[in-house]
Structure formats: structure tokens, C-alpha cells
A and B are shown apart, each in its own frame.
Chain A
Amino acid sequence: MLISPAFLALNGGAMLVSLLMLMAAGQAVQVLRHWDIKSGSERQLALERRTYLIATLVTWSVAAELVALLLFLHTAESMSSQFVGAMCATGVLNAHALGWPVLGLKIAVFFAGAVWLLVNQLDNKSPVYPLVRLKYALLLALLPLVLVQALAQLGFFLGLNPDLITSCCGSLFTAEGEGVAAEVAGIDPMLSLALMYGSGVALLAAGMRYPWEGRCGIVYALAGMLAFALALVAIVSAVALYVYEHPHHHCPFCLLKAGRGFIGYWLYLSLFAGAALALGVGVISPLRRVASISAVADAQARRLTTVSLGLFALFYLIATFAVVGSNLTMEGVWW
């Protein structure tokens, strides 16, 4: 176990977020059980006031989780000096079975939280709160995710043993290795880049239909998720190599280092935000069938689609810039 300030901050923060979410969920159960918008009773009035508390608690929790995700990666990065064979965050995440699951859970919490906030924002635009039940059911689904993530993170940090020999990014993300990460790194760069741009075109096609024709909201969300996954694959198998200007360095975390001009932040922030908004479109566009917010939901979904498309476009631009602007030349090897 390693007691360091970052360890305390991350786990203390996760516990605090869990506490806030538990409080919010407790209130949400009350709202779910007794909500009756037609009633003018004292209780209904109190419940309506509680919705403000719940929304504030969840907003802050999600914001904290976003900061915690970045802090987690940086902490893993900075701890790499304490593990034999670990050169960056990859090696530290490998040092314990829970490393990668924690990262996955944190990303899942970020996406789920972002969708919840979008639904909440939509609901607040109508005076009759038509989405209250959906919203709080979603919140109750988000709660276990947050709790499991907090526990897994604690288990990860408590289980870290600094003397363990771990494989660093050099051996994990090489084509000869085994496992999912190596599979991803071993994909033909040309294929992965083609898939990334192909999914981008599909996304554009789905995205264009929504703002103009008001169709394919869910298709857009699915295309967004696909584009997100393929973009991550392309980063590991091709884009990262161009950024490092090294034909065998696949690590997706070293991109976040200062030595790379912090290009990782630009790549990941635009990609994650774009994907989160695309997911939001998928959830919001079916809500057009709810009579009282039909028009608002439609307008909101169109706006989100446009912004999401813009963010994805930004991501593709940065990725293309990274490949084209690089000094690494793989002509004749890859293409």
C-alpha cells in the first residue's frame, strides 16, 4: 500500500462522492415513491424543492469524477517510478488486476453522469417535470456504478505492491504480446486509421440527418459510440506512433505528458466530450414523444448533435494533424 497525498485525495474524494450520491439517491427514492405533479400538497411541494438538492449533488459529483479521472491517470503516471519495469501509467495499471477495470469504471461513470446531466437539463426546461421518474431511475442506476468504482479504486491502491515487477507500455502495447491491449496495438495501422475515418464519415452521415430531418437520433448515438471505440483503437495502433515518432511506442497515456505538447488532452477531451454528447442525443431524441417537452427535446437534440459533430470534427482534425505533421515516415512499410 502506498500512502501518498494523491492516494488520499483520490480515495477521500471517491468516498465523498459516494456519500453525496447516496444522499441524492435517498432523496430520489422519496421523490420516486411520492411524486404526484397534480397534487398541491405540502409533501409534493417539499419534493419539488428536493429536486434542486438532488440536481446540485449529482452535478458536483459528476464534476468531481471528471477531475478524479484526470487525477487518477496522472497519479498512475507519477507512481510509475516506484514500480520495477513500469515507465508510465500503463505499467502501474498492470501492477494490479483492478487497474484497468478502475479506469473503465471511471470512464463509464463519466459517460453515465454526463447523460444524466443532459436529461436533467432538459427536464428543468419544463414546468411540469415530465422526466422526473426517468431521471431518478437513471440516478439509481448510476449509484451502484459510482460505489463499485470507489471500492475498486480503493482495492487497487491498497493492493499495489511497489516491488512487483510489471510490464511497462513497451512490452504491453507491442505486437508480439498477448491480451486485449496487445491485440489493439497489433492491428494494422492502415486498417485502424481507415476504420477511424470511415466511422467518422458514418457519424457525419447520421449526424447530418438529425439536425435537418429530425431522424436517426439513436443511430447517431450508436455511430458515436462506434466512432469513439475505433478512435481509441486508432490512437493506440497508429496515431500515438506518429506523435512519439517511434514505430513501436503505442502507449495511450504518454500522450498526456508535457513532452508531447499535451496533445493527449486535446485528443481525449474532444473525443470524450463528443462521445458523451452523442450518447446524450441517443437518450434525448426518443423523449420527443413526451408531449410536454416535445419541442424542447427536439431543439436540444439538434443542438447537441451539432456540438457533438463539431467536437468529433475537432478530434479528427487534431489526429490528422498529429499524423501529417509528424517526422515519422512509414511509407513503404505501412502504405
Chain B
Amino acid sequence: MTAFVRRQRYLLEYSLSAMARRPGKHLALLLVYTLIVFLLASVMLFTHSLQRETRLVLAGSPELIVQRLVAGRHELIPAGHLERIAGIRGVRAAKGRLWGYFYDPAVRANYTLLVPPDDAPAAGEIQIGAALARIRGLALGDYLSLRGASGEPFAWRVAGLIESDSELVSADLVLMGEADFRRFFAIAPGLYTDLVLSVRNPREVLTVAEKVSLALPDSRPILREEILRTYDAVFGWRQGVVFVLLVGAILAFAIFAWDRASGLSGEERREIGILKAIGWETADVLRMKLWEGAVLSLTAFLLGYLLAYLHVFYASAALFEPVLKGWAVLYPAFNPVPFVDGLQVATLFFFTVFPYTAATLVPIWSAAITDPDSVMR
């Protein structure tokens, strides 16, 4: 065992010194390799943190949302519906929600207006999200004035700024009292945007949903699990699409690696010839070359992953930001929580190190079987 380890150590030592003798040749490969790992890892880390953020946001959402549909479009739901489903066995609480969107021409952005279920602001007061406060230059005690549905202006005093774990949800949020909301949008009492049900036992959610759709044929129940599942699939799918696009780059990289490994210079050939002449076996040369590949792969992998980590978690994924920011005026300051997932690393490893190794196996072998006399002659 110790002989085996010692042998590998000497081979590794030799590989390192051989690489140090020709830094230029390996530097180019290392650069491309690192770049590939960096790109793939950035996409993975970024989507993964978005996924986590979504889960975090949805964790506190009700198990079941009931929306009324008229001609296939979302409609306000009468309070009478609430009474019909509140009695379903297994439903712990049923509430009507009031929320909506408002386009503010002054900053050309959409706000989300919401009546919080508890601790709603008093009449004439609002609480606003951080991004909104930034863009309108509002501070505590300032007034925000908007034009209501009937054309008359409304002015509210900013009574608080919303502090939230996730700015993704609170960036464009305006919280207000129920009476203010109804007057602003001219919504009659007894109508809600949608209904939410909380169900204590997760196994009963499906049954409750079934009963709701039977009791209210004009409505559709939406499960929290459904939303989560869809987000999971969508994020996975998006990552997959980006990866498919990058497959071309990986292929080009593999061909580059193949070319590098097979295009041995005369000097390198002579070196292998001399090694074999002084007693190295083909297997030794093979191992030495594989060690070389391992050193390169590990360096590129660690470097690329580290850079991606810094890029996503400390530079807010600056390379992707323009793409995401393009369509949102009220862009949330998104600070993803650093997180490394074993599955991710393994997947990434399969995507980069394995193609590289597969591409270099044959060239390495053909270098290793070099005859000493043919290159030294």
C-alpha cells in the first residue's frame, strides 16, 4: 500500500515539475477550462439561489388559493363563496384577500397593492417596499399620491418601510387598509380578489381542493404544492436550456483539449522517449499523464467554481443582471444566500471533468506508447 502511494506521489511530483517547465501550453487550456466551469457553475448557483428564494417566499403562503373565473378570466369573488367553503371539514381558516396592481406613470413601474390580513395600516396611511421608496425618493412621513380608478387623487402618509427577508416580494409592495383599497380601486364591499384556505393536514389538501371545485364550479383551486412543483420544474428546465446551449461550448472545449493532448511537441516526445529508455513502462507514462490531467482539472474546477461563487453571491451575478433587470423598473436588490449543494458539484463535475478526461484518454495513450528509439534517433 505504501509503495503504491509513494509511486503515485513521485509520479505527481514529476507531472507538476513537467507542467512547470512548460507553463504557456497549460495556461491556455487552464484558462478555457476555468471559463467553462465558471459559466456553468454561475448558472447553477444563480438558479439554485432563485429556487431557494422562491421556496422561502412560498413557505408562508396558504395551502390553497381559490380564484373565481368568468369566461376563463380571473374575476372578483363574492364573499358568499367564502361561507360556502369555510365549512369544509379540514379547513382551519378561510379568508378573502384584497390585492391588485397599479401602474404608476410617474416612474413607469407597476406597484403591487395589498391589504394585509392582520395589522393593516390605519386609514390614510401606507407601508411601502424598499425599492419603491428608493425610486420615488420617499421617507417616513412623506406622502405618496396616486390617481384612483374614478379619477380622483389619493394621498397616503408613509407610515412604515417594509423590512423583509426577501426583497424579491417586497420591492414594489404597498400595504394599505381595506377601506382605502376599496375606495381607490372602486371595489364594492362584499367582493374579494381571491380566497385563501389554510388546511392543517397536508394529506387532506387534495380532498379539500376537490370539494371546493365541487362546491364552487365557477372557481379554480390552486395548491401551494402545485406552485412549488411548477417553479421547481421551470427552474430546472431553464437551467437545462442554458446547459443545452452551452453544450456546444463544452464540445468545442473537448475538441480543444483533444487537440492539445495529441499535439505533442518534438521536445515532449523526446522526453517520453527518454523516460521509457531509462526504464519507465507504458503504464507509468500513462499514469503520469493522467495525473497531469487530474491536476489541471482540479485546479480549473476549483478556480472556476470559486469565481462563480464570488460572482453570484458577492457580485449579485453581475453578468446576468442586465438580462434580468431589463424589464423591471423596480428591481429588487437581490442578495442570494450562499449555498453549495453536493448534487450540483457532482453534476458540474460530470459536465466538465468527464468530457475533458474522455477526450484526452486516446491522445495520452498514443503518447505513452511512443517508442524510445523512434524519437531519440
Contact = CB atoms under 8 A, between A and B. Distances in A.
5 contacts: A5-B351, A6-B343, A8-B240, A9-B348, A52-B286
Interface stretch (A65-73, A221-229, A293-301, A309-317): A65-73
Majority SS at the chain A contact face: helix
Contact of B355 (A16, A67, A71, A74): A16
Contacts, number: 99
B243 A52 contact: no
Contacts of A82: 229, 232-233, 236
B355 A8 contact: no
Nearest to B254: A16
A52 B282 contact: yes
Contacts of A8: 240, 243-244, 247, 351
Interface residues of B, number: 38
B365 A9 contact: no
Interface string B239-251: 1110110010000
Contact of B350 (A23, A60, A67, A162): A67
B307 interface: no
Contacts of A12: 247, 350-351, 355
Contacts of A2: 233, 236-237, 240
B309 to A, nearest CB: 17
Contacts of B44: 5
A64 interface: yes
Interface in A151-204: 162
Given A4-B236, A78-B343, A82-B229, A52 B354 contact: no
B357 interface: yes
Contacts of B233: 2, 82, 162
A4 B358 contact: no
A283 interface: no
Interface string A61-95: 00010011011001100100111100000000000
Given A71-B346, A162-B233, 14 more contacts: A2-B233, A4-B239, A5-B243, A7-B240, A56-B286, A56-B290, A56-B365, A60-B357, A67-B346, A67-B349, A67-B350, A82-B229, A82-B232, A84-B225
Contacts of A74: 342-343, 346
B362 interface: yes
A85 B241 CA distance: 27
